[in-house]
Amino acid sequence: MPRSKSKTLSLETRTKLLEAINKQNMSVAEASRRLMVPYTTARSFIQHYKETGHVEPKKMGGNREPVLTNEHLDWIQSKLDNKSDIRLADIHNDMKRAFTFDKLPSITSIHRAINTKLQYTLKLLRVEPADYNKPSRIQARKEWAQDYVDSGSSLFNAIYIDESGFNLHQHVSYGRAKRGDRAIRIVPSDKGQNISYIAAIGAEGVVADFAYQASTTGKLFAWFLKERVFPKLQHRRQIILDNATIHKTADVRQVFQESIHECVFLPPYSPFLNAAEWHFALIKPRLSKEEYKNTESLLNAIRASANTVTPGMVTSWIREVNRNLIRSINGEILGREHHYNMQEGDEDLAVQLLEDLENMHVQV
């Protein structure tokens, strides 16, 4: 016959048991029958009371110290911070060598500690170029930013230009499905011809933009400056560009020489100093959430999304660029964790800027 579990007694029942035994001179068996309490439970309580003098129940659970201490958790956190894609099995094996345990924690215990105590979650892995924040890049940004401030120039008086590519296979990176099933999104079998989109923005909003089915070349970029951008500018402006090859062709140099405007190149790997990147970071996540049957519908969607950008939005982006300029002067790193300050799609912004770093080669 299986052994019955002891019943947990309320404080009121415990008090009544003591009164029945001590004041009414009942035996434990009599008191348990009177109060309808299992005999073994009543006997265990009376024994506990004689040993401790306490009516309250013993503290539930053991007094065992956790296997993973704060020292272990700090060590695990440093591992995750240094290598975000490290496997649990590797952490487990490295922990064997780094610490001495009476009982080694299981992989499940490590996983639980990472989720509940460190509050690290599994996320889509993003790639950041190794050169992005190496000391020489930080120093180059610092010198560029200091020279820009010393020149008396204002970022709010500049025009920011950049270009990006789109196609029909563009989509968000996450989806939902039942456990055990893959999340699938159907896209056109043919991703279609790539669409390039150039935009020039300033404190007044979107100054000019152009979407077309072709790759960006130096000649096309020079045409965009001469025919679309410069006619919209009423006075001399600084045109801020990244170091893409198409921005440095003879055609582009000639267009600037024939104009009153000044070309200012950013230091390498510095997308967070170009407000136009915020423009693309706003548009791309929006487009990735929709489905397009053909290139024409995607072209129309790009134009429609760009039309929603207001001068107030651009001004806020330039203000953020200005903060990054100060950070650069202070020798601080620029990265995801500093740039979640958009009105929409904060995380998408930083993700998109870092993705652009991986694809900085533009066809000439």
Q: Do 142 and 238 share a structural domain?
A: yes
Higher per-residue confidence, 364 vs 314: 314
- Residue 355 has what pLDDT? 52
Q: CA of 58: how far to CAs of 5, 31, 66, 207, 232, in Å?
A: 16, 21, 20, 74, 81
pLDDT(85) > 50: yes
Higher per-residue confidence, 7 vs 208: 208
Total number of domains in the chain: 3
Q: Do 260 and 332 share a structural domain?
A: yes
Contact 246, 219 (CB under 8 A): no
Average pLDDT over residues 130-136: 78
201 bridge partner residues: 160, 206
CB-based contacts of 357: which residues, under 8 Å, 6+ apart? 128, 129, 132, 269, 271
Residue 158 lies in a domain: yes
CB-based contacts of 290: which residues, under 8 Å, 6+ apart? 301
Residue 1 lies in a domain: no
Residue 125 lies in a domain: no
- Residue 164 has what pLDDT? 82
Q: Do 272 and 352 share a structural domain?
A: yes
Q: Do 19 and 95 share a structural domain?
A: no
Higher per-residue confidence, 228 vs 283: 228
Domain CATH number, residue 94: 1.10.10
Residue 129 lies in a domain: no
R_g of the chain computed on alpha carbons? 33
Q: Do 308 and 172 share a structural domain?
A: yes
Long-range contacts made by residues 299-302, C-beta under 8 angstroms, separation at least 24?
299/195, 299/211, 299/213, 302/166, 302/195, 302/197, 302/211
Which amino acid, residue 1? M
Q: Which domain holds residue 36?
A: 11-52
- Residue 323 has what pLDDT? 92
Q: Do 192 and 107 share a structural domain?
A: no
Q: Do 229 and 85 share a structural domain?
A: no
Model-level pTM?
A: 0.58
Which amino acid, residue 28? V
- Residue 47 has what pLDDT? 87
Domain CATH number, residue 230: 3.30.420.10
- Residue 302 has what pLDDT? 77
pLDDT(2) > 50: no
Question: CA neighbours within 13 Å on the CB side: how many for 15?
Answer: 3
